[in-house]
């Protein structure tokens, strides 16, 4: 009976040990720097912003990870420098990452993925509106630098493709590509 209980305890412990250190959570300060293009209003622009970001990475193998990135930003929309109002967007992004030859100290990675941007809290000039949803690609590169056994300083850059249609009283004025570069620095830990 004792041996059976010991065997059951070892079997139950296997998944926990197999999953040890498979998760990483990071908190970053990010600068969102839009690379704005408009199909018919060349003076249309979107403000740069600094915001907090959080992400969760699950390591399928030591080299392959899947990361969910979460952040939101409130942005000002301008036309030739004049404010048209503000809107917020939430672009959760999912990337598949490759971590190059992980070492105990420096762990560089690249990622490719998709984002879904949701525009909300839209407060633009009377009659102006935007499409609420956008799907686009994402590219990522970064490095985790170990500072403790499970703690890392993180440097990260992403290119995210986000676009929307800007409308006046329901009529499309222009197609707006926001397509930000996202530069980040933060701290992560494995668990």
Domains located in the chain, CATH noted: 22-190 (2.40.160.20)
Residue 110 has pLDDT above 70, yes or no: yes
Rounded CA-CA distance 55/53 in Å is: 7
Average pLDDT over residues 15-25: 67
**Whole-structure pTM value:** 0.84
20 band by pLDDT with thresholds 50, 70 and 90? low
| pLDDT at residue 83 in the model | 96
Look at 4 and 181; give whichever has higher pLDDT: 181
* DSSP secondary structure string for all residues of 44-89: EEE--EEEEEEEEEEESSSSEEEEEEEE-EEEEEEETTEEEEEEEE
The predicted model gives 84-102 an average pLDDT of 94
């Amino acid at each position: 009976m004792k041996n059976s209980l010991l065997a059951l305890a070892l079997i139950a412990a296997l998944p926990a040990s197999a999953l040890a250190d498979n998760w990483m959570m990071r908190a970053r300060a990010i600068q969102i720097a839009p690379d704005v293009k408009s199909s018919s209003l060349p003076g249309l622009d979107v403000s740069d912003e600094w915001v907090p970001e959080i992400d969760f990475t699950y390591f399928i193998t030591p080299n392959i990870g899947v990361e969910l990135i979460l952040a939101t930003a409130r942005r000002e929309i301008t036309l030739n420098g004049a404010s048209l109002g503000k809107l917020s967007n939430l672009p959760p992004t999912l990337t598949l990452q490759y971590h190059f030859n992980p070492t105990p100290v420096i762990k560089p990675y690249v990622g490719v993925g998709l984002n879904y941007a949701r525009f909300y809290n839209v407060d633009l000039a009377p009659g102006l509106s935007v499409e609420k949803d956008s799907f686009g690609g994402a590219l990522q590169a970064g490095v985790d630098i170990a500072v403790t056994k499970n703690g890392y300083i993180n440097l990260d850059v992403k290119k995210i493709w986000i676009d929307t249609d800007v409308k006046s009283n329901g009529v499309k004025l222009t197609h707006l590509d926001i397509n930000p570069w996202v530069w980040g620095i933060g701290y992560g830990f494995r668990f």
